[in-house]
Structure 1
């Protein structure tokens, strides 16, 4: 991809994002407060976050890459299951990844 095409893509994506945000800002409030919309928005948010975590954790390009991020994700999931505060979850996951990398894994 050329530099010009890359910049056009970035600018178009930015404008589309801005347009979506503006539509959301000016939509009638009663549309967004219906239980169906709230439930769908919650599920979509969780699905997008899960997809981002999976891609960032195990995607190594053309093959699955298992490195220090995967055990760190498992530690974070366990901490979340035990209802740890979010800051504790992040610190535990970061410490796990850092420790494993210090030991030469990942």
Structure 2
């Protein structure tokens, strides 16, 4: 398949999704279930992406240095550390785990 055909089809698809979102009636968006779902959906998607990046490798699940860094970041967050400290802890633990496992 030509790359430009793929780009054009992707652009048309993105436009169609955006247009479909604009055509939803306002009354449908005001329902409590829709509001609750719209508020929780980004959090669920971010959690899924984080889990896939931290624990996935191809078609299998792995526990490696990334998982150790994520666990350390979680502990730092639970201790209410500032965001930059959380990132620094995650980086340090991930680097240390990779250095130990070689």
TM over 0.5: yes
Secondary structure, aligned partner of 1:66: coil
**How far 1:16 sits from its partner (Å)?**
3.7
- Aligned residue in 1 for 2:62: 65
Give the root-mean-square deviation of aligned CA atoms. 3.0
Which of these residues, 69, 76, 79, is aligned with residue 79 of structure 1? Answer: 76
Say whether 1:47 aligns with 2:30: no
Q: Which protein has the larger Cα radius of gyration, Structure 1 or Structure 2?
A: 2
Q: Unaligned regions of 5+ residues in structure 2, if any?
A: none
**How far 1:94 sits from its partner (Å)?**
1.0
- Aligned residue in 1 for 2:88: 91
Q: Unaligned regions of 5+ residues in structure 1, if any?
A: none
Distance 1:73 1:53 in 2: 9
Runs (4+) off by over 3 Å: 5-25, 31-39
**How far 1:63 sits from its partner (Å)?**
1.8
